[in-house]
Amino acid sequence: MNPLLKVSDLRVSFPGKGWRAPRVEVLRGVSLDVRPGETVGLVGGSGSGKTTIGRAILGLVPVQSGTIEFAGERIDGLSPRRRRALARDIQVIFQDPYTSLNPSLTIGDTLSEPLLAQGHAAREARARVAVLLDRVKLPADAADRLPREFSGGQRQRVAIARALAIDPRLIVCDEPVSALDLTTQRTVLDLLLEIQAQTGVAYLFISHDLAVVRFMSHRVAVIHRGEIVETGEAAAVTSAPENPYTRSLLLAAPIADVERQRARREQFEREVASPRA
Amino acid sequence: MSETAPLSAEPLSTGVSTVRRGGAVRRLLRHPLGLASSAVLAAIVLGVLLAPVLSPQGPEVSSLRDAFAGPRAGHPLGFDSAGRDVLSRLLYGGRNTLSGVLLALAVALALGVPAGLVAGYRGGRFDAASSWIVNLVMALPAMVVLLASRAIVGPTVWVLMVVLGVLVSPNFFRLVRGIVVGVRGELYVDAAKVSGLSDLRIVGRHVLIVVRAPIIILMALVAGIAVGLQAGLEFLGIGSGDLPTWGAMLNEAFKNIQRAPGLLLWPGLALGLTNAALVLFAAALRDVLEDRGATVSPRRRRTPVEPPRSVAGERAELLSVRDLAVSYGSREVVRGVDLDVSAGEIVGLVGESGSGKSQTAFSILGILPEGGRVSRGSVTVRGREIVGLAEREHRALRGDVIAYVPQEPMSNLDPAFTIGSQLVEPIRVKLGLSRAEARAKALDLLRQVEIADPERVFGMYPHEISGGMAQRVLIAGAMSCDPELLIADEPTTALDVMVQAEVLGLLRRLQRSRGLGVLLVTHNLGVVADLCDRVAVMSEGRVVETGPVAQVLHEPRDPYTRRLLDAVLDDAPAREPWTPPADSPGSPGRPDPEDSQDPKDSQKPKDSQDSQEVAR
């Protein structure tokens, strides 16, 4: 089956700081693809460029070279008008549920925004908002309230509802649960899985947390310093990684088990960190 | 996961309508200055609008017989040098003065706001060009331009006010541009772009709403300035002499100051009142719209701290907390916490945001945020009661016995000073060392926190080092006075996993070599398993379970701890490989029950089974 999203040899760089400073290369030839209804996890440390991939796909940062195709059509370097039309297909859930909702708009206004932008009538949009709130398991009266009346997990549900508003085919999830508490994180992940089962939406799931990525993704790509260092089925990459960076990433994350964590720590210190005594 | 101050984290249950516009007006009228200044402004505007009704005669009607005549029936303020009624001239003059101000404001808004919006939102060449022009306009001396424009276009108030509007428009431009540059980077603006909104719509919906309040505040301030400037011009005789304005009245009165000094009083009073009311109105608006002031009065009532209700169990020598309660107003966020840390022991304090774990740590350190106080309980450090200690003694304790490592390393370093000077200063003050000795000690500390090149880092500024390095520097600072108890509040939450592993290793080695007692506040059960000897689990202000780490993680007794452990994904199975959807692709919204792709069904039971197996 043809991939829904195909990124080939993507390069992105930002202007350096200071006058005539060289450009900083953030992505150095990244290729990946996402099939319909599939979740591809993208995992990497801070500064690895994982967020930039998402932003490039969303058209929020300019692409220097390489191509991004969606359903067989190039979507890099689109005109603003055609980019806006693409909102129907590609949506986003950001990391921070506190800054990704406008504090002075009601939840209902935020949710109806993409609908109105796609030319739906106001009455139609209102009805759809009620359906969306129900789908993300928020009370119907949430529509009239402001973001600050909600907890982080509830706000993230609002962000999910906004992404779902116009039935996209792909949602870029940029660290959607890393700002949430452990138990909230689990319920939000379950909600995302449930929505995928119902609608067949594909996710590009970006996270620094290998455990979360393993739980969510069919396939996993590991990014390090702007390059994909390993890709494969989730089970393979997250339990028997071939790449040394992936291995160290796996070993670095502490697990909630004293004995096994001690073994992992010793392995990490043997393989990766060499403590300066 | 930062545990924000509970006051702001608490959702406002007061209802929905509090924040919208009506709410702002109501709050303004509840603000004492707001009420007074609005009343004065309303009276002035009303009086001026109703000039034809209120004034005894037209502003130009004069009878020389009455020149300088005092107040009498029907003419409460008397007559001026030309025998015109002062009250009438005051009211009609106010009309002209205030219309002039409105004209200037309108011009300034029309020029400044749209240009500021575009420059801030778009950036690039338009921004560069318009900022250049604005700087040029701001560099022009206003008085000289006003005088020159009068000389060129003639003495009419209206033209002068238009010119004034142009001259003050940069204020609006810069205000709006500055705010918009900030808003442009917000995630919700990105989300709106992804939602398919055009730039025009984003500016209209998301950006204008943010600049609205500051613009209104600036308008009130600029109106005050415009009133003053206009009166000044008229007073100097630069306005149009024939039109009655407050400034023109002042001018006339000044000419006759020897004969009838009282004539200065009324226009002066009108100007002063209007100006004062506008400035106070702006200040009150700022309080109301930006949620400042008038909220928590600094007046702190000294309520006695209740003694602990029970002091159960043996108390640890180093740190012992019994029945600790922390309150914000009447709301308790920590409700009776017991906790012990012995020398050489690492105790984890875990919980989710809002559980009160950071508040507990803050009250031991004596650094509770504004509004919070220890309302009950006992905290002893090395056997000494520290609840109710004076701030000075608490500070001594913090430098001497207790050290603190915060969550956000970067925001705890001052960007204006080098790493070295930030380490050396406290060492000199606390230990009374000479500069050279303190420097040697600081370098030694940097070495102890495993920084490879201490000399180089010593001379660097905070922005030149990474987050992990910054956290090492803060740990070095915490170690500088050889503490016995270290309180670390989510010390690795802001760091990358790899860096986290290194910093955890460092903390472990430091703790071992120095025999430190550590209280580690965290939400991460992996960190607890990695580092801690014992752990206390907090939920809703209480410790629900405490014990050796292995026991709590493997055989949790409390249902909340169990729920927390169930949410851990460490041992959740990887997702099954993707299989092509059963029916045609690209038709979303097909809930086919036969399609056994529901990952919840296939994963959840397996997962909880797994984690139980692992746990037991």
Distance between terminal CA atoms of chain B?
Answer: 28
Give the separation between CA B13 and CA B406, rounded to whole angstroms: 31
Segments in chain A below pLDDT 50: 275-277
Residue A272 belongs to what domain range? 243-277
Token pair belonging to A140: 């119907």
Q: At A242, which amino acid appears? A: E
- Higher pLDDT: B19 or B75? It is B75
Q: Which string of DSSP letters, residue by residue, matches B484-548?
A: SEEEEESTTTTS-HHHHHHHHHHHHHHHHHHT-EEEEEES-HHHHHHH-SEEEEEETTEEEEEEE
pLDDT confidence of residue B588 = 44
**B147-192 pLDDT, tens per residue?**
888 888 877 778 888 998 999 999 999 999 999 998 888 899 999 9
Give the separation between CA B469 and CA B462, rounded to whole angstroms: 9
pLDDT confidence of residue B228 = 87
**DSSP class of A209:** -
Please give the average per-residue pLDDT across B356-381, as a whole number.
91
Q: Does residue A56 lie within any of the structural domains?
A: no
φ and ψ of B67, to 5 deg? -50, 130
Q: Which residue of B has its CA nearest to A146?
A: B16
Which H or E run includes B607? helix B599-615
Residue B345 binned pLDDT confidence (cut-offs 50, 70, 90): very high
Residue B333 binned pLDDT confidence (cut-offs 50, 70, 90): very high
Give the separation between CA B78 and CA B259, rounded to whole angstroms: 14
Give the separation between CA B452 and CA B443, rounded to whole angstroms: 11
Do the beta carbons of residue A251 and residue A270 sit within 8 Å?
no
**B213-256 pLDDT, tens per residue?**
889 889 998 998 888 888 888 888 776 667 888 888 888 888 88
Q: Does residue A277 lie within any of the structural domains?
A: yes
Residue B45 binned pLDDT confidence (cut-offs 50, 70, 90): very high
pLDDT confidence of residue B514 = 92
Give SS3 for B112.
helix
Q: How much of chain B, in percent, has pLDDT values that exceed 90? A: 43
Please provide the average confidence, as pLDDT, over all residues in chain B.
84
Q: Does residue A34 lie within any of the structural domains?
A: no
Give SS3 for A256.
coil
Cβ distance of A208 and B524 shorter than 8 Å = no
pLDDT confidence of residue B301 = 53
Please give the average per-residue pLDDT across B332-347, as a whole number.
94
Q: Report the gap between the CA of A9 and the closest CA in chain B (Å).
A: 23
Residue with tokens 């297909």: A89
Q: Report the gap between the CA of B602 and the closest CA in chain A (Å).
A: 11
Q: Which residues contact B134 (CB under 8 A, 6 or more apart)?
A: B115, B170, B173, B174
Cβ distance of B570 and A256 shorter than 8 Å = yes
In words, the CATH class of domain B29-289 is mainly alpha
Residue B599 binned pLDDT confidence (cut-offs 50, 70, 90): very low
Does residue B126 come out as left (phi exceeding 0), alpha (psi in the -120 to 50 range) or beta?
A: alpha
- Closest among B225, B37, B230, B222 to B113, alpha carbons compared: B222
Give the separation between CA A79 and CA A215, rounded to whole angstroms: 37
Which H or E run includes B248? helix B246-255
Please give the average per-residue pLDDT across B84-91, as a whole number.
88
pLDDT confidence of residue B240 = 65
Which H or E run includes A230? strand A227-233
Cβ distance of A149 and B12 shorter than 8 Å = yes
Q: Which residues of A touch B201 (CB under 8 A)?
A: 117
Q: Which residues of B touch A99 (CB under 8 A)?
A: 186-188
pLDDT confidence of residue B530 = 95
pLDDT confidence of residue B239 = 66
List strands edge to edge, sheet with A227-233: A90-93, A170-174, A202-207, A39-43, A219-224, A227-233
Question: CA B124, B126, B132, B137: dihedral to nearest 10 degrees?
Answer: -150
Assembly ipTM: 0.88
pLDDT confidence of residue B302 = 59
Token pair belonging to B43: 């009276």
Q: Which residues of B touch A276 (CB under 8 A)?
A: 450, 452
Q: Does residue A122 lie within any of the structural domains?
A: no
Q: Which residues of A touch B550 (CB under 8 A)?
A: 258-259
In chain A, the number of structural domains is 1
φ and ψ of A200, to 5 deg? 75, 20
**B100-129 pLDDT, tens per residue?**
999 999 999 999 999 999 999 988 889 999
**DSSP class of B85:** B
Give the separation between CA B166 and CA B164, rounded to whole angstroms: 5
Instruction: Indicate the residue of A60, A146, A212 with minimum beta-carbon distance to B190.
Output: A60
Q: Number of CB pairs < 8 Å for A and B?
A: 250
Cβ distance of B195 and A269 shorter than 8 Å = no
Q: Does residue A263 lie within any of the structural domains?
A: yes
Give SS3 for B209.
helix
Give SS3 for B263.
helix
Beta bridge partners of B327: B332, B373
Instruction: Indicate the residue of B500, B526, B589 with minimum beta-carbon distance to A167.
Output: B589
Do the beta carbons of residue B265 and residue B225 sit within 8 Å?
no
Token pair belonging to A198: 């119902």
Residue B604 binned pLDDT confidence (cut-offs 50, 70, 90): very low
pLDDT confidence of residue B241 = 63
Assess B200–A contact: CB distance below 8 Å, yes or no.
no
Show me where the domains of chain B are located: 29-289
Q: Report the gap between the CA of B579 and the closest CA in chain A (Å).
A: 8
**B128-156 pLDDT, tens per residue?**
999 999 999 999 888 888 888 888 887 77
Give the separation between CA B364 and CA B387, rounded to whole angstroms: 8
Do the beta carbons of residue B75 and residue B83 sit within 8 Å?
no
Residue B338 binned pLDDT confidence (cut-offs 50, 70, 90): very high
Q: Does residue A41 lie within any of the structural domains?
A: no
Q: Does residue A162 lie within any of the structural domains?
A: no
Q: Report the gap between the CA of A168 and the closest CA in chain B (Å).
A: 8
- Best-predicted range by mean pLDDT among A41-50, B389-398, B573-582? A41-50
Q: Is the pLDDT of residue B28 over 50?
A: yes
Report residue B67 CA to chain centroid gap. Answer: 59
Please report, for chain B, how many H helices and E strands are present, in that order.
24, 10
Q: How much of chain B, in percent, has pLDDT values that exceed 70? A: 88
Query: Which residues 353-392 on chain B approach chain A with CB closer than 8 angstroms?
Result: 353
Q: Report the gap between the CA of A233 and the closest CA in chain B (Å).
A: 6
Please give the average per-residue pLDDT across B368-379, as a whole number.
90
Q: Which string of DSSP letters, residue by residue, matches B210-223?
A: HHHHHHHHHHHHHH
Please give the average per-residue pLDDT across B331-346, as a whole number.
93
- Closest among B533, B469, B532 to B502, alpha carbons compared: B469
| Strands annotated E in B202-260 | none
- Give which of A46, A106, A109, A155 to mutate to test B binding, by max B Cβ within 10 Å: A46
**B483-534 pLDDT, tens per residue?**
999 999 999 888 888 889 989 999 999 999 999 999 999 999 999 999 999 9
Query: Which residues 483-512 on chain B approach chain A with CB closer than 8 angstroms?
Result: 496-498, 500-502, 504-505, 509
Q: Among A196-205, B397-406, B544-553, which is the least confidently predicted range?
A: B397-406
Q: Does residue A266 lie within any of the structural domains?
A: yes
Do the beta carbons of residue B581 and residue B597 sit within 8 Å?
yes
pLDDT confidence of residue A55 = 94
Please give the average per-residue pLDDT across B28-36, as a whole number.
88
Q: Is the pLDDT of residue B608 over 50?
A: no
pLDDT confidence of residue A274 = 55
Assess B606–A contact: CB distance below 8 Å, yes or no.
no
Give the separation between CA A201 and CA A36, rounded to whole angstroms: 7
Q: Among B23-32, B158-167, B378-387, which is the least confidently predicted range?
A: B23-32
